[in-house]
Amino acid sequence: MEKIDVIGQDVYCYDLLGSLIKSLTIDQFTGIDFSYLDGSKLFTLNITQPIKRVVKFRELNGLDTTAEFTEYPYENMTPEQQADFDSFVLQAETL
């Protein structure tokens, strides 16, 4: 698994080639604080490519809009945030 997208309550898991591996829902995950998803239209976790990170999109590119996002590199996260990231990825891989 290389990338995970969260859109609303849906979780999409992709391989290195960008092919969908599986779809899950937020309620299948346990012990994860999802309050940080508030206000996001798309929440992306990159596992290794281009770097280990989270990107939170508040707005997506559209006819009348430009993407607005914040990037959170794994190396800049607190230990608690890193633990949540790792737990989310592990659960996505095993569910």
* Cα 95 from Cα 86, distance rounded (Å): 14
Band (pLDDT 50/70/90 cuts) for residue 37 is confident
**Whether pLDDT at 32 is above 90:** no
pLDDT of residue 64: 82
Q: How many domains does the chain have?
A: 1
Of residues 16, 20, 71, 80, the one with CA closest to residue 49:
16
Q: Find out whether the peptide bond into 79 is cis, omega within 30 degrees of 0.
A: no
pLDDT of residue 59: 85
Of residues 14, 15, 76, the one with CA closest to residue 85:
76
Beta carbons within 10 angstroms of residue 20's beta carbon: 10
